[in-house]
């Protein structure tokens, strides 16, 4: 077994961890300066082989229309402006967004969209959307796809430059620091099972969300908050980790039909929802619009039924077409370009036939997006000099809820900012000395599951953790649940994680081992979420406290900042950063 | 299933296993995987079952689960296909994608990418403690 040996060392100026929308953009901008070396690593086998971006295929970027019109020559609604986009984001974010981050997003989105075009990204300038919350039609698609096309364009640039390099199958484990500054990171070369130490003046974390803390995800299952966990261990601050977006779109029964998020997209608006008692429960949340409400309210409605024991047979809720005559369903199919066949060519007709006959399908909440994350300023700087972050792993810009299209835009704006800032920082600082004791400490925790002769199975523990997280830190929370989650995270860290054990001992491409490492990371993320959600004693956006169901603007227009201090997660409130919109006052029943 | 044939409740999956750090030659292993009574059972689900419930040393690559990343390409009953989109048959043979270096079992890397990365690691690879 090759786990006692040495490690390879790669030196670079800027190390980017995660190389999709945000990380790839950062790497491209950082490597524009030929004197700055950039390595971008991913735990996927390559760019576009992991993460949310590649799954965001038929997806939109939200870009204010004036910019779309003036810079891209797109025929859109020019009544829109950066100011109007700003107002929509802050309103939908329920006034807890960091307005400096929003300001940068709304002003820089159009120039970045133009920049992407100059690199060869093709926009579809014929159709524009305004999903709920957008006042104007400012959502725009990529011509063939959005996320995958973006990855292709970035890959070509990064591979063509002598000073930039993408490395796949590199699982980042821990950050390295020297004094107060960042010194690089340790990663596991998944192909060999050996450690690689990256020495760098700057590290940009762009590892996306932590969807896989929950049993169902809209992304791939590899989104385990590794970047969050390593940043936390290194002393980084977190911003509003209580805001996590869920959508009741996971088709849990019958099994096997969940191909991407397609069923949700295809059937939405057609089906009625029932709980396990046959009650159309969404009437209790909105008697007029019933199921036709925003995603946050839907996910909270569904989570409430499940938590209060009124779930469907397989633990979700029922969704049915039975109220629709079958010829109406057929007609809906006919009016669509591809009928009941998804954009990726997947055929849903057999499922539709079953539903037409009156059988309901069952849906559960999947975790879709993380509004909270690592705390950054507009340049992507964290509280640790040399450590930057961008994209979905960062908190603040969306506040308590995000607008559709805002995530990909966040990635390009923040990715560019972090890349430029890190590149400049790397040039004026010298590479700090790597402390081999830190590397050895990392090696010790990482290799232990391989060395143990017995203990906890990583996949079984993962399932226990995700089930627990779902029932305690899902869309609906209360004081007791969150206290229990904090205690459970502590117990898991003390009692379970130290016993993780892999039956498979060979370190080369050992998936069981990868699960062990990732499971430790989701536990860490759950701890931060629970600590951040506990003191927020009101309901706002994606955070619903059933013990405090009102939106309280007098006491909770605040930012929650969490950080590890002497082994404990400490949380403090900070005033929300306001530039131009003053939040409202008063207390109102949720949704505020 | 033709009429009169008894419905099987297991899938017989033959998977080509090869760990170059241990094995001299690739070899097939055969697994019995419970068959779904309803719904669609993709090969990604079959392999997940083998990995999680029978043999955690199995290596394969599935991420997007929706035909977008191409990471799960493999030889399925002798033809190239995506594990995440292909519904299983009652008996199925799965082998690694052709023209790739086999890292382990079904986990492969394209020859070209592999070559570039190995060069970087070698170039910067002064090792400590060896
Ligand atoms: C189905 C779907 C549809 C969506 N539709 C839209 C839309 O229409 N509009 C919109 O704006 N947004 C949409 N989103 C959200 C948006 O796609 C994501 O927020 C965005 O792509 C995140 O990009 P990112 O670069 O921050 O992270 P990701 O794309 O998630 O990439 C994370 C990267 O980090 C790497 N990584 C993670 N951990 C490690 C580690 N330990 N070591 C090394 N690498 C690591 C991964 O391998 C990956 O490369 C959608 C998301 C999904 C899932
Ligand atoms: S897992 Fe991405 S294509 Fe199959």
Q: Are both A178 and A221 inside the same structural domain? A: yes
**How many CB pairs below 8 A link A and B?**
134
Q: Is A478 helix (H, G, I), strand (E, B) or coil?
A: coil
Does A3 score more than 50 pLDDT?
no
Q: Is A400 helix (H, G, I), strand (E, B) or coil?
A: coil
Q: Is A91 helix (H, G, I), strand (E, B) or coil?
A: helix
pLDDT at B118: 63
* ipTM score assigned to the predicted complex: 0.94
Does A464 score more than 60 pLDDT?
yes
E runs forming strands in A518-567? 544-545, 550-552, 558-565
pTM equals 0.96
Q: Which two tokens stand for residue A59?
A: 């997806």
Q: What does the alpha-carbon distance between residue A11 and residue A355 come to, in Å, rounded to a whole number?
A: 57
Q: Are both A78 and A193 inside the same structural domain? A: yes
Residue A57 domain flag: yes
Sort out which chain B residues have CB atoms less than 8 A from A165's CB and list them: 120
Does A369 score more than 60 pLDDT?
yes
pLDDT digit string, tens, across residues A306-360 = 999 999 999 999 999 899 999 999 998 888 878 888 776 778 899 999 999 999 9
Q: How confident is the model at residue B120 (pLDDT cuts 50, 70, 90)?
A: low
Sort out which chain A residues have CB atoms less than 8 A from B56's CB and list them: 457, 459, 502-504, 511-512
Q: Are both A306 and A391 inside the same structural domain? A: no
The residue among A428, A458, A477 that closes a domain is A428
pLDDT digit string, tens, across residues A142-195 = 998 999 999 999 999 999 999 999 999 999 999 999 999 999 999 999 999 999
Which phi and psi (to 5°) does residue A267 adopt?
-100, -5
Residue A587 domain flag: no
Q: Are both A53 and A159 inside the same structural domain? A: yes
How near does any CA of chain A get to the CA of B103, in Å? 7
Q: Compare CB distances from B57 to A257, A457, A504 and report the shortest one's residue.
A: A504
Lowest mean pLDDT among A255-264, A472-481, B65-74: A255-264
- The ligand 2 atom at the shortest distance from the C-alpha of residue B70 is 3
Q: Are both A96 and A109 inside the same structural domain? A: yes
Q: How confident is the model at residue A476 (pLDDT cuts 50, 70, 90)?
A: very high
pLDDT digit string, tens, across residues A203-259 = 999 999 999 999 999 999 999 999 999 999 999 999 999 999 999 999 999 988 888
Does A2 score more than 70 pLDDT?
no
The CATH number of the domain where A33 resides is what? 3.50.50.60
Does A23 score more than 80 pLDDT?
yes
Structural domains in chain A (count): 2
DSSP assignment of A11-35 equals: E-SEEEE--SHHHHHHHHHHTTSTT
The residue among A344, A366, A388 that closes a domain is A366
Instruction: Answer yes or no: do A189 and B64 touch at CB < 8 A.
Output: no
Q: What does the alpha-carbon distance between residue A429 and residue B24 come to, in Å, rounded to a whole number?
A: 49
Ligand 2 centroid–CA A553 distance in Å is 44
Q: Residue B105: give the domain boundaries.
A: 10-124
pLDDT digit string, tens, across residues A520-540 = 999 999 999 999 999 999 999
Lowest mean pLDDT among A233-242, A256-265, A568-577, B12-21: A256-265
Give the CB-side neighbour count of residue B120, counting CA atoms within 13 A: 24
Q: Are both A352 and A316 inside the same structural domain? A: yes
The CATH number of the domain where A278 resides is what? 3.90.700.10
The CATH number of the domain where B77 resides is what? 3.10.20.30
Sort out which chain B residues have CB atoms less than 8 A from A50's CB and list them: 63, 69, 71
CA B61, distance to chain mean position in Å, is 7
Cβ atoms of residues A72 and A66 within 8 Å:
no
Q: Are both A197 and A117 inside the same structural domain? A: yes
Residue B92 domain flag: yes
Does A78 score more than 80 pLDDT?
yes
- The ligand 2 atom at the shortest distance from the C-alpha of residue B65 is 1
Q: Residue A330: give the domain boundaries.
A: 246-366
Residue B107 domain flag: yes
Q: What does the alpha-carbon distance between residue A413 and residue A114 come to, in Å, rounded to a whole number?
A: 12
Ligand at minimal distance from the CA of A209 is 1
What average pLDDT does chain A have?
95
Which residues have CB under 8 Å from A432's CB, separation 6+?
Answer: A178, A179, A181, A182, A183, A184, A201, A386
Does A75 score more than 70 pLDDT?
yes
Residue B24 domain flag: yes
Q: Which two tokens stand for residue A216?
A: 């169902």
Which phi and psi (to 5°) does residue B129 adopt?
60, 20
Torsion, CA A188, CA A189, CA A192, CA A194, rounded to 10: -40
pLDDT digit string, tens, across residues A415-445 = 999 999 999 999 999 999 899 999 999 999 9
E runs forming strands in A351-399? 361-370, 373-374, 387-389
When scoring A45, A250, A433 by the number of chain B Cβ atoms within 10 A, the one with the most, hence best to mutate, is A45
Residue B23 domain flag: yes
Q: Are both A76 and A164 inside the same structural domain? A: yes
pLDDT digit string, tens, across residues A86-135 = 999 999 999 999 999 999 999 999 999 999 999 999 999 999 999 889 99
> Does residue B125 or residue A132 have the better pLDDT?
A132
Does A266 score more than 70 pLDDT?
yes
Where do we find the tokens 């009437």? Answer: A283
The residue among A382, A411, A428 that closes a domain is A428
Instruction: Answer yes or no: do A220 and B64 touch at CB < 8 A.
Output: yes
Ligand 2 centroid–CA A437 distance in Å is 39
Residue A457 domain flag: no
Q: Are both A271 and A419 inside the same structural domain? A: no
Structural domains in chain B (count): 1
pLDDT at A347: 84
Does A262 score more than 80 pLDDT?
no
| Antiparallel, parallel or unpaired: β A587-589 and A568-575 | unpaired
pLDDT at B130: 28
Pure H helices in A273-431: 295-307, 326-335, 349-356, 406-428
What proportion of chain A, given as a percentage, has pLDDT over 90? Answer: 90
pLDDT at B129: 32
Ligand at minimal distance from the CA of B44 is 2
Q: Are both A132 and A271 inside the same structural domain? A: no
pLDDT at B126: 39
Residue B33 domain flag: yes
Among candidate residues A395, A390, A387, the one with its CA nearest the CA of residue A98: A395
Residue B5 domain flag: no
pLDDT at B113: 65
Residue A311 domain flag: yes
Residue B1 domain flag: no
Q: Which two tokens stand for residue B16?
A: 């080509």
- The ligand 1 atom at the shortest distance from the C-alpha of residue A62 is 11
Cβ atoms of residues A477 and A304 within 8 Å:
no
Ligand 1 centroid–CA A208 distance in Å is 5
Does A272 score more than 60 pLDDT?
yes
Q: Are both A376 and A350 inside the same structural domain? A: no
**Does residue A345 sit at the B interface (CB-CB below 8 Å)?**
yes
- The ligand 1 atom at the shortest distance from the C-alpha of residue A368 is 53
DSSP class of residue A393 equals G
Residue B67 domain flag: yes
């Amino acid at each position: 077994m090759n786990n006692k040996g040495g490690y390879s060392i790669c030196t670079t100026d800027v190390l980017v961890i995660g190389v999709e929308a945000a990380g790839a953009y950062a790497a491209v901008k950082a490597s524009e300066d030929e004197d700055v070396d950039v390595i971008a690593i991913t735990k996927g086998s390559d760019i576009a082989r992991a993460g949310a971006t590649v799954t965001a295929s038929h997806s939109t970027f939200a870009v204010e229309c004036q910019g779309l019109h003036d810079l891209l020559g797109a025929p859109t609604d020019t009544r829109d402006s950066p100011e109007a986009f700003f107002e929509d984001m802050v309103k939908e974010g329920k006034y807890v967004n960091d307005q400096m981050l929003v300001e940068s997003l709304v002003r820089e989105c159009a120039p970045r969209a133009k920049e992407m075009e100059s690199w060869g990204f093709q926009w579809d300038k014929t159709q524009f959307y305004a999903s709920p919350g957008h006042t104007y039609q400012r959502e725009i698609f990529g011509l063939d796809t959005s996320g995958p096309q973006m990855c292709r364009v970035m890959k070509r640039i990064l591979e063509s430059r002598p000073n930039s390099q993408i490395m796949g199958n590199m699982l980042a484990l821990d950050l390295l620091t020297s004094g107060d500054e960042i010194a690089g990171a340790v990663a596991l070369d998944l192909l060999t099972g050996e450690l690689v130490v990256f020495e760098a003046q700057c590290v940009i974390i762009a590892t996306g969300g932590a969807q896989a803390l929950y049993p169902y995800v809209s992304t791939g299952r590899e989104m385990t908050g590794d970047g969050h966990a390593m940043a936390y261990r290194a002393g980084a601050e977190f911003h509003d980790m209580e805001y996590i977006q869920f959508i009741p779109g996971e088709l849990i029964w019958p099994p096997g039909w969940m191909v991407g998020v397609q069923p949700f997209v295809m059937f939405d608006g057609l089906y009625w929802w029932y709980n396990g008692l046959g009650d159309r429960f969404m009437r209790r949340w909105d008697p007029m619009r019933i199921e036709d409400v925003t995603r946050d309210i839907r996910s909270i409605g569904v989570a409430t039924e499940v938590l209060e024991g009124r779930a469907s047979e397989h633990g979700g809720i029922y969704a049915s077409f039975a109220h629709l005559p079958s010829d109406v369903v057929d007609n809906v199919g006919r009016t669509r370009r591809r009928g009941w066949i998804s954009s990726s060519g997947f055929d849903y007709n057999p499922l539709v036939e079953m539903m037409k006959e009156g059988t309901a399908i069952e849906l559960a909440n999947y975790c879709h997006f993380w509004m909270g994350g690592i705390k950054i300023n507009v340049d992507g700087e964290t509280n640790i000099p040399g450590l930057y972050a961008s994209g979905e792993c960062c908190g603040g810009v969306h506040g308590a809820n995000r607008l559709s299209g805002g995530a990909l835009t966040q990635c390009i704006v923040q990715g560019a900012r972090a890349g430029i800032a890190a590149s400049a920082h790397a040039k004026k600082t010298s590479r700090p000395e790597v402390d081999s004791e830190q590397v050895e400490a990392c090696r010790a925790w990482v290799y232990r599951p391989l060395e143990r002769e017995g203990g906890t199975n990583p996949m079984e523990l993962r399932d226990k953790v995700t089930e627990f997280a779902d029932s305690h830190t899902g869309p609906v929370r209360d004081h007791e649940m969150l206290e229990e989650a904090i205690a459970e995270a502590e117990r898991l860290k003390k009692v379970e994680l130290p016993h993780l054990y892999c039956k498979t001992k060979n370190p080369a491409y050992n998936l069981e081992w990868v699960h062990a490492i990732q499971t430790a990371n989701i536990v860490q993320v759950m701890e931060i979420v629970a600590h951040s959600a506990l003191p927020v004693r009101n309901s706002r956006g994606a955070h619903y406290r059933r013990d405090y169901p009102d939106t309280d603007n007098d006491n909770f227009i605040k930012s929650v900042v969490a950080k590890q201090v002497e082994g404990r997660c400490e949380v403090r409130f900070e005033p929300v950063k306001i530039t131009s919109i003053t939040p409202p006052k008063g207390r109102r029943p949720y949704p505020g | 299933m033709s009429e009169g044939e008894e419905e099987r409740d297991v899938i017989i999956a033959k998977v080509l296993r090869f760990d170059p750090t241990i094995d001299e030659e690739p070899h097939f292993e055969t697994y019995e995987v419970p068959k779904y009574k309803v719904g669609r059972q993709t090969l990604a689900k079959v392999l997940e079952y083998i990995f999680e419930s029978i043999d955690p040393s199995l290596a394969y690559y599935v991420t997007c689960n929706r035909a977008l990343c191409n990471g799960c390409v493999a030889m399925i009953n002798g033809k190239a296909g995506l594990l995440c989109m292909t519904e299983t048959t009652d008996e199925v043979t799965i082998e690694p994608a052709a023209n790739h270096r086999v890292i382990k079992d079904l986990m492969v890397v394209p020859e070209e990418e592999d070559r570039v990365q190995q060069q970087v690691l070698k170039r910067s690879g002064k090792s400590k403690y060896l």
